[in-house]
Amino acid sequence: MEDWTLGLCQALVAQLALYPSQSNEKSFAIRCIGRLLTLVTNKQAVLDNLSSIFLATVDRRYDETACAQAFGSVASAHLELVLSKCGTLYI
């Protein structure tokens, strides 16, 4: 089950570049990735996908809310990982 979930996350991350920067679909995909990551136990995969979400939204201010919601969803299952990722992103 986890392999399938990780595959879906990776497919969604790969598609983020295909969406227009100000699309509701891109915001939805980002939030979906966050919800899916709550089911993943591989810590490195969670950190890598969080980085991908952040990098997909860092240049375009439009998806900030979706990024924050995704990080919040992931934090419900992986609080320490999210806190450490936030620490590395802003230092």
Structure tokens at 13: 């991350």
Query: What pLDDT score was predicted for residue 91?
Result: 62
* pLDDT tens figures, 24-49: 999 999 999 999 999 999 999 999 99
* pLDDT tens figures, 43-84: 999 999 999 999 888 876 778 899 999 999 999 999 999 999
Structure tokens at 21: 């920067």
